[in-house]
Structure 1
Amino acid sequence: MFLLSIASQTLAMHVALSSETDKMALLALKDKLINGDPHALPSWNQSLHFCKWQGVTCSRRRMRVSAVQLPNQYWGGTLAPSLGNLTFLRVINLTNTHLHGDIPRELGHLKRLQILDLSNNNLQGQIPREMINCSSLEVIVMWQNNLTGKIPSWFGSMKQLILLGLGTNNFVGSIPPSLGNLSSLQKLSFTYNHLEGSITPALGRLLNLNHLALGANNFSGQVPPSLYNLSNIEVLEFAENQLVGTLLSNISMAFPNIESFLCGGNRFTGTFPSSISNLSELQVFDIQENDFHGSISPTLGSLHKLRSFNVGTNRFGSGRAHDLDFLSSLENCTQLQKLGIDDNYLGGVLTDRIGNLSSNLIVLAMGANQISGRIPEGIGKLINVAALGIERNSLEGTIPNSIGKLKNLVMLALEENKLFGNIPLVIGNLTMLSDVHLDSNKFEGFIPFTLGNCTKMERFYAQENNLSGNIPNQTFGYQQGLIELSLYSNSFTGPVPSDLGNLNHLSILHLQDNKLIGEIPMGLSACSALTELVLGSNSFRGSIPSFLGSLLSLEILDLSNNNFSSTIPHQLVNLTLLKTLNFSFNHLYGEVPVGGVFNNVTAVSLVGNKELCGGIPQLNLPACPILPLQKKHKRSLKKRVILIVAFGGILISCVAFISIYLLKNKAKKLPTTSLALQYGYVKVSYGELHQATNGFSSSNLVGAGRFGTVYRGILVHFERPVAVKVLKLHTRGASKSFMAECKALGKIKHRNLVNILTSCSSVDYKGDDFKAIVFEFMPNGSLETLLHNTIDDSESTNQSLNLMQRVNVALDVAFALDYLHNDLEEAVVHCDIKPSNVLLDDEVVAHLGDFGLARLVHGAASCSSSGQVSSSAIKGTIGYIPPEYGASGLVSPEGDMYGYGILLLEMITGKKPTDSMFGEDLSLHKFCNMATLDGITEIVDSRLLIPIDHQERRRVTQQQNMEDTIRECLVSFARIGVACSQEFPNQRMSIKDVITEMHAIKQKLSC
């Protein structure tokens, strides 16, 4: 009994000591694992037995640690050598714990260890040789680390191994033949390493192997014939190596249970292995990127479990009609999710049967073949397709509207075909779209406004087509995740949309080789991620903005072949990543900066700018002239004195003229709310206007015309913003236009006319002539802006005008013309009625502006000769000029009516009279004159066919069908425009009758 007691006490002491050893080992492990995180493993403390600690399992009899399982943590620590003291450990699972450092050699002490899972960490170094002592190991999983060295040959002595996973590391060398001794091995994965040489035939001895993955290495040679003995194989992966030879012709005999067969990305040759049709368990078949040829077996319909079939990038097909016959057999593969036949020689025509493929299809890749015909309507049945690629074929025709049914589509690739017609509006239904490739086709027309619904867009390519019109404002502005936008080599007109500044992630913007105009919008300064900005071969003008120097990610900046006229901003030297800068063939002048990209002569192109000077000597530019400062100052001062005296007189004359007319017409009780009267024509200087418009910055630009450029500004004299029209004095007739506008606007005041606040005739800071007129600012911009989505830096929140608003605008302009023609002692003929001269205030009330061409007509305004005035040149804008102006040179109120009629037709159709669709045989007038009640919807702006609002829908429905009412109103609107734009003046509708009929339309819409 005594001896027994002693033995019992000794055992208890041993257990206590062993338990204390495990506890101390765990605490040391914690210290390394948690990487100093005080909140990690809170249960690992002295108050709780270690067997109850998180992730710790103990054996019941000895209370020794048998498992440490702490997966999916983010501590970023290391493995402590103390792990080797847990000698009863059977399981270690520390997967996805962000471990780094080496695997400690002390793991070799764990002779009972059966499962070691250290996958998805950042472990480094070699697998320690001491692990050869872990003879009980059944599972070794270390994939997705940074382990190096060779695969240890001593793994061949671990006879208990069932799974060996070392994929996605940096192992080198070859596969040790000793692995052929692992008779129990079922799964072997060495994918994504740097292994090379031949695949050892010894693997053919692993008769229990069901998963062999050797992909993404550098193996060469042929597949050893011994591997065809592995009849239990379910997954066989050789992809992305340099293997050669042919595949076994009778695969089904060798691998009857195979589920996944992947050998893509090698150099295999031969014909399609038709025996795969007998593989009833086959789910994944991938032989892409090899050198197979011939036809694809038409007997694939027996593969009922097939999920992925990829034979892309081979030489299948002959470019003939029956190459796609195999597709009909795939109709029976109802589990099919991925079909890849791209980059082959497959010919033939796609039929509607394409829609009979599996409704589970997610990826359909058919690009880079010789497929012809049209895209079939049946494509719309594949409602779960996320990626559709039919690029680089010979497809013709239009994109079918059925494509709008593919609501899950993320990637659409149709580039390099012969597709034509418009990009369909239904593309806006595809709200999941991320990547769209429509480039190198024959698409025409506008970019559909519905594209703005695709708010998840990241890449949009439509370059090298025949697209035209403005790049729509707001459409791309909604796509705030847009990374790449490529629209080059089209016929786009108008300015760069200002709302591209919303695109914080935009990296590539290619708009070269179009017909774009205006200045580079200030909004682009917010695109800090831009790496490529290519705007060459357009008609941009103005200054190269200095904000480009803040786009520090820029690598390519190309503004060549434009009309920029300024110095080169010195801020561009800050672009340290810039590799290409091309400003060639503009009108740049002044000194070229030194530093940054300008010091790299091979990266900079400045040819075709004759007035540049300076820069580094290698640019071979002339030296910049050095002017004597004192003489320059005297000449400048003398010039300023002369100019101030001369143009001061003009300003006094202009203001005096205005004052006389104000006094003369005082009895007419002009509206006292006018800002012009309220502030009494306060005089302003050039300096005040310069400050008010932030130096006439492009960010303040509102619009531009033939004689002037308009800026938004804030003057201290006025509570509200003003519009400053700066005359382009280098343009012939600009000074005359300035005086004409002062004269006309000084005489007239009306609710629907733009009010002049003051004027300025002075010299600028360079001593050059300067003339400007200050008007009330119109927050909603011009009618042209809202009709055609042109650039608009105003505060407008309106995206477009509905029918009621357009009727109101038409009435407002009619009231203005009625006043000008009929309510003044001397009638005023505006001579330039067009949408850009109709401005809208914050209540969308229209104001007619720009009286630079206006003429006073003596006597009553009538159709008689007394109501006309001679003009030495054609007055107005092409498309809006009445025919008689070109023949007689006489202007009249009837001429304004012609322009007004064209304006109405433009408002209802959304088309300019100069649209490319109009020519000798068809004009805007004829286009609308041909429309009938049933055909009106074919010519009108599609936005007018949308109900105005729900409240109006309820009102109209109470009397008659709303669509019929709108259709009738549209017809009446069009007929008025046609009546006003008749060829002969005496046939045109009078302004009084216009007002009456427009009131009738408004009343009908208001019912």
Structure 2
Amino acid sequence: MGLLESCPLFLFTNTVLVVLLQLGSSIPHVAGSKHGGNETDQLALLTFKAEITGDPFGSMNSWNQSLHFCQWMGVTCGRRHQRVTVLNLNNRKLAGAISPHIGNMSFLRKLQLRNNSLSHEIPQEIGRLKRLQILLLRQNSFTGEIPANISGCLDLTGLDFSRNSLGGKIPQELGSLSKLKYLLIDRNNLTGSVPPTLGNLSSLIVFLAESNNISASIPDVLGGLTNLEGLGFGGNKLGGIIPLSIFNLSSLRAFNMVWNQIQGRLPSSLGNTLPNLQEFAIGRNLFTGYIPDSLSNASNLEIFCYLSELLLAGNKISGIIPSGMRKLVNLQTFELFANQFTGNIPTDLWNLQKLKIVNIAGSIPPSLRKCHRLEVLSFGANNLSGTIPQELATLSSLLYLNLSQNQLTGSVPLEVGNLNNLEALDVSENMLSGQIPSTLGNCVKLTLLYMEGNIFWGSLPSSLRYLRGFEEIDLSRNKFSGKIPDYLEDFVFLRKLNLSFNDFEGAVPERGIFKIASVVSLEGNDKLCGGIPELQLHRCNSEGLRRNRFTFPLKVTVATINLLKATDGFFSQDNLLGIGGFGSVYKGILDQGDRVVAVKVLNLQFRGASKSFIAECNALKSIRHRNLVKVLTACSSVDYNGNDFKALVYEFMVNGSLDKWLHPNENENEVSEDSRCLNLLERLNIAIDVACALDYLHHYGPEPIVHCDLKPSNILLDNELTGYVGDFGIARFLPKVAYESGNQSSSIGVKGSIGYAAPEYGMGSEVSTSGDVYSYGILLLEMFTGKRPTDHMFSDSLSLHNFAKMAFPEQVASIADSTLFHQQDNGLNHSSTSSQKIEECMISIFKAGIACSEELPRNRLAVNEVLMQLYAIKNTLLGSDRRAA
């Protein structure tokens, strides 16, 4: 379920649908004689049937000459004239088009074709149905524009075109439908602005236009719709401010403006002028100012969140949270995260007995235990410190607990076992320590467990064997040890098990989920062995090269001999993979042919080669991440002639570098056998992989590290096209104290590679994490334009950054790699992913690339910010994210 569908205004829509279905239901069904009736209606129905190409339920089997048409399924006729008044074929999975002859059924009052697979354009002839009252075409695949001549159906009271693929502008002619009560056009591809003529719809009760591409601002005339109860424009491109006249619509119950670019402040009288408000959603906009104290007068408000509901998250609202919120006794959802609030959360807020969902900033108050109905509690991505309060364990109604991305310390309290209804627990990315409490085994409904990025240690408790409903477990980047429990083999619902970068040891199980390499992540556990071959672990009885954490330097001549054997003698040219700035990389085979490796041999005659070797060893021995190329061992010795010999042994990446995939015509000898290009989703996943690696280097490693040479040739791809950042030969450590104080620099300036190096490096500036961000921005633009920053077209003042910036946003499609718009190649479910959605996501990707590669370092995004944007783009392409709280 997406963000908009999670808002109660979406539920409000269902109420509207019930009303629409009931309107006109008093029209009776009357059967006529076998040969009587009106031939015009019969012919129109038969031509309607002729356009239907799919009828899996056989709904039209009765539509034949053996029955009078008034007895056909879905057809209702009037008593007096035996003319068709209702055509109701909802939920029949019909495919095909609506015949233009529908316009001949002049007595039709109700046309209901909801939830089918009808396509093509809505016929203009519907505008001839002067008696039509209800037109329900929701959830089909109609394209084209909304017919403007529907304005001729002056008796219309309900119009529902939502969940189709309609484009164009909202016809201004709709403003003549003075009897219209419900106008539902959400979840289409509508563009343009809201026509001011809609201010004439004086009978309108609900107007929903969510999830379109409507722009400009909300016209002031909508404030004259005094009967309006529901208004929704969430998920559009609206700007400007909300007219004050809207806030004076005292009948308003549901209000949704999330995910727009609306500015301004909430009026101080909000709670007084909207006394009937139940759902209020304005999250993900640009609102500023304060929450008005008068909001506490909206006593019907049930939900206060990022809408019964108030959705304010993701704005720039500041000040304190009004203490009068305690009056909102019906409040069920309370979300205020990602704002700029100060002060403490009013303690009496926790006396609201109906509260079910909480997603806010600030400290975790012990008084939270009073919320006995609380089901969702999310304090993620704040600056929380201290320990997890034991009082949380008293919330037995809790289903989802998210404390991720904070600075919490201490252990997970034993009392967590009291949360016997808990389905998801996320304490990832904190500084928590200790062991997993054995009492967690009491949470028998637990399906999602995220504890990555902490300092947990010890073995996995045996009590977890009882939690057979697990779907995802992520314990990566901790200090867990001991053997991997065999009971994990029997977790049949598990689709993700990430135990990487810990200290597990011994043989890896080989049954159950451990037979599926795509489910299990074990990298970074140097003492593990065995398992299926796809996991690429050494054999438990092998005497060959072990996958142990290397120490620098290894001054053993036998290592040189082993490497010579592995690479077919003195590093044969047949095994040469590539030549870099300080040496050459060869393909090698170790462990009696069981392991393929890449061996980087330093050419010590090159100036800086020894220094590069030391820098790379120092970097790689202290960092661990799933998207960093893994070094297996290092060799510093002498060769047969007594000369210094230095080499690094890496995991072999079967798909080589990103460079050869982005520019196959320039690397014809290196392209993989299928010679295919990377599709949209593959490129986006690789971009996320690289951003994850940079985020770790900049923020989560033992010390902040600047890579200094990020470019496609230093991004390697495994057999599943997962991206790994490699080549740390000029990486630089930043002192922790200097980094935290904002002085992000190294004492040594580095140029990096032409086209990718930050412009300030060329002027003598010192190394900083923002320099990596610049390189990443150029990399992102290269990945989605297919053009190198050193392309001959870029000269004088024209750079890849400026090239993209000049095309943004209207001309992005014209500069993007054309292969990314071929739906059969984009890696997406193109039945549900429109080319327009793909283009919108491309615009967002280019926006991120441009923001990262700004000339001035202070104007660039931080890598964790761009990572969140890329995840959001991916979620837009694929659907909602399970953790989008």
TM bucket (normalised to shorter chain) is 0.5 to 0.7
Matching residue within 506, 511, 514 for 2:522:
511
Aligned counterparts of 1:298 and 1:563: Cα–Cα separation in 2? 68
Shift of 1:503: 6.2
Question: Is residue 312 from structure 1 mapped to residue 331 from structure 2 by the alignment?
Answer: no
1:698 — aligned with what?
none
Aligned counterparts of 1:368 and 1:442: Cα–Cα separation in 2? 18
Matching residue within 52, 66, 70 for 2:71:
52
Shift of 1:97: 1.2
Shift of 1:497: 2.5
1:597 — aligned with what?
655
How is 1:798-877 mapped onto 2 (pairs within 5 angstroms)? Answer: none
Matching residue within 467, 470, 487 for 1:454:
467
Q: State the secondary structure of the residue aligned to 1:102.
A: coil
Read off the aligned partner of 2:487 and give its amino acid letter: Q
Farther-moved stretch of structure 1 (384-393 vs 447-456) = 447-456
Q: State the secondary structure of the residue aligned to 1:291.
A: coil
Shift of 1:15: 13
Distance 1:254 1:208, change over 3 A: same
Distance 1:582 1:415, change over 3 A: closer
How is 1:710-859 mapped onto 2 (pairs within 5 angstroms)? Answer: none
- Asked if 2 retains the 8 angstrom alpha-carbon contact of 1:296 and 1:316, the reply is yes
- Asked if 2 retains the 8 angstrom alpha-carbon contact of 1:107 and 1:131, the reply is yes
1:627-648 CA distance string (max 9 Å, x none): xxxxxxxxxxxxxxxxxxxxxx
Aligned counterparts of 2:318 and 2:118: Cα–Cα separation in 1? 47
1:938 — aligned with what?
none
How is 1:104-253 mapped onto 2 (pairs within 5 angstroms)? Answer: 104-253=123-272
2:593 — aligned with what?
566
Distance 1:393 1:58, change over 3 A: same
Q: State the secondary structure of the residue aligned to 2:416.
A: helix
Distance 1:503 1:479, change over 3 A: farther
Q: State the secondary structure of the residue aligned to 1:54.
A: coil
Aligned counterparts of 1:227 and 1:237: Cα–Cα separation in 2? 12
2:392 — aligned with what?
379
1:950-977 CA distance string (max 9 Å, x none): xxxxxxxxxxxxxxxxxxxxxxxxxxxx
Matching residue within 386, 393, 401 for 2:406:
393
Read off the aligned partner of 1:514 and give its amino acid letter: N
Name the % identity: 33
Read off the aligned partner of 2:530 and give its amino acid letter: E
Matching residue within 33, 36, 57 for 2:52:
33
- Asked if 2 retains the 8 angstrom alpha-carbon contact of 1:271 and 1:292, the reply is yes
1:443-490 CA distance string (max 9 Å, x none): 111112332333332322222222111121232x22333333222332
Aligned counterparts of 1:214 and 1:68: Cα–Cα separation in 2? 30
Matching residue within 310, 315, 319 for 1:294:
319
- Asked if 1 retains the 8 angstrom alpha-carbon contact of 2:266 and 2:291, the reply is no
1:406 — aligned with what?
419
How is 1:345-494 mapped onto 2 (pairs within 5 angstroms)? Answer: 346-347=362-363, 350-351=365-366, 353-357=367-371, 359-475=372-488, 477-494=489-506
Distance 1:269 1:583, change over 3 A: closer
1:276 — aligned with what?
295
Q: State the secondary structure of the residue aligned to 1:460.
A: strand
- Asked if 1 retains the 8 angstrom alpha-carbon contact of 2:589 and 2:596, the reply is no
Aligned counterparts of 2:139 and 2:668: Cα–Cα separation in 1? 53
Tell me: higher relative CO, structure 1 or 2? Use CA pairs within 8 A at least 6 residues apart. 2
Aligned counterparts of 1:420 and 1:62: Cα–Cα separation in 2? 80
Farther-moved stretch of structure 1 (85-94 vs 443-452) = 443-452
Aligned counterparts of 1:169 and 1:316: Cα–Cα separation in 2? 35
Aligned counterparts of 1:255 and 1:468: Cα–Cα separation in 2? 58
Distance 1:131 1:447, change over 3 A: same
Q: State the secondary structure of the residue aligned to 1:57.
A: strand
- Asked if 1 retains the 8 angstrom alpha-carbon contact of 2:234 and 2:256, the reply is yes
Shift of 1:583: 7.4
1:323-360 CA distance string (max 9 Å, x none): 24x2x32333222221110xx4x24x542x32211x32
- Asked if 2 retains the 8 angstrom alpha-carbon contact of 1:480 and 1:503, the reply is no
- Asked if 2 retains the 8 angstrom alpha-carbon contact of 1:389 and 1:414, the reply is yes
Aligned counterparts of 1:467 and 1:474: Cα–Cα separation in 2? 17
1:661-709 CA distance string (max 9 Å, x none): xxxxxxxxxxxxxxxxxxxxxxxxxxxxxxxxxxxxxxxxxxxxxxxxx
Matching residue within 259, 281, 285 for 1:266:
285
Q: How many residues end up aligned between the 2 structures?
A: 548
Q: If each structure's strand is expressed as a fraction of its own residues, which one has the higher value?
A: 1
Unaligned runs of 5+ in 2: 1-31, 303-308, 537-545, 551-561, 567-586, 598-625, 636-646, 672-885
Aligned counterparts of 1:364 and 1:593: Cα–Cα separation in 2? 42
Read off the aligned partner of 2:496 and give its amino acid letter: E
Aligned counterparts of 1:81 and 1:616: Cα–Cα separation in 2? 55
Distance 1:233 1:501, change over 3 A: closer
- Asked if 2 retains the 8 angstrom alpha-carbon contact of 1:119 and 1:143, the reply is yes
Aligned counterparts of 1:152 and 1:220: Cα–Cα separation in 2? 20
Aligned counterparts of 1:296 and 1:562: Cα–Cα separation in 2? 64
Aligned counterparts of 1:338 and 1:580: Cα–Cα separation in 2? 35
Read off the aligned partner of 1:81 and give its amino acid letter: P
Aligned counterparts of 1:521 and 1:295: Cα–Cα separation in 2? 56
Matching residue within 499, 506, 509 for 1:497:
509
Whose Rg is larger? 1
Read off the aligned partner of 1:517 and give its amino acid letter: L
Read off the aligned partner of 1:355 and give its amino acid letter: R
Distance 1:587 1:479, change over 3 A: farther
Aligned counterparts of 1:335 and 1:562: Cα–Cα separation in 2? 64
1:257 — aligned with what?
276
Distance 1:234 1:309, change over 3 A: same
Aligned counterparts of 1:125 and 1:493: Cα–Cα separation in 2? 61
Q: State the secondary structure of the residue aligned to 2:457.
A: strand
Shift of 1:584: 5.4
Distance 1:225 1:47, change over 3 A: same
- Asked if 2 retains the 8 angstrom alpha-carbon contact of 1:350 and 1:374, the reply is no
Q: Normalised by the size of structure 2, how large is the TM-score? A: 0.57
- Asked if 2 retains the 8 angstrom alpha-carbon contact of 1:197 and 1:221, the reply is yes
- Asked if 2 retains the 8 angstrom alpha-carbon contact of 1:162 and 1:187, the reply is yes
Shift of 1:191: 0.5
Shift of 1:564: 5.1
Farther-moved stretch of structure 1 (174-183 vs 287-296) = 287-296
- Asked if 1 retains the 8 angstrom alpha-carbon contact of 2:34 and 2:67, the reply is no
Aligned counterparts of 2:463 and 2:91: Cα–Cα separation in 1? 44
Unaligned runs of 5+ in 1: 1-12, 526-534, 545-559, 571-578, 605-614, 620-1007
1:223-272 CA distance string (max 9 Å, x none): 11221221111111111100111111121122111111110010101122
Q: State the secondary structure of the residue aligned to 1:101.
A: coil
Read off the aligned partner of 1:207 and give its amino acid letter: T
Aligned counterparts of 2:314 and 2:389: Cα–Cα separation in 1? 28
Q: Could you say what the CA RMSD is over the residues aligned between the two structures, in angstroms?
A: 3.7
1:630 — aligned with what?
none
1:46-66 CA distance string (max 9 Å, x none): 222222222211111111110
1:24-55 CA distance string (max 9 Å, x none): 22222223235265833333232222222222
1:693-732 CA distance string (max 9 Å, x none): xxxxxxxxxxxxxxxxxxxxxxxxxxxxxxxxxxxxxxxx
Matching residue within 88, 92, 99 for 2:118:
99
Aligned counterparts of 2:133 and 2:670: Cα–Cα separation in 1? 71
Matching residue within 57, 61, 84 for 2:103:
84
Read off the aligned partner of 1:64 and give its amino acid letter: R
Q: Normalised by the size of structure 1, how large is the TM-score? A: 0.51
Aligned counterparts of 2:283 and 2:338: Cα–Cα separation in 1? 9
Question: Is residue 521 from structure 1 mapped to residue 535 from structure 2 by the alignment?
Answer: no
Aligned counterparts of 2:465 and 2:270: Cα–Cα separation in 1? 51
Aligned counterparts of 1:616 and 1:593: Cα–Cα separation in 2? 24
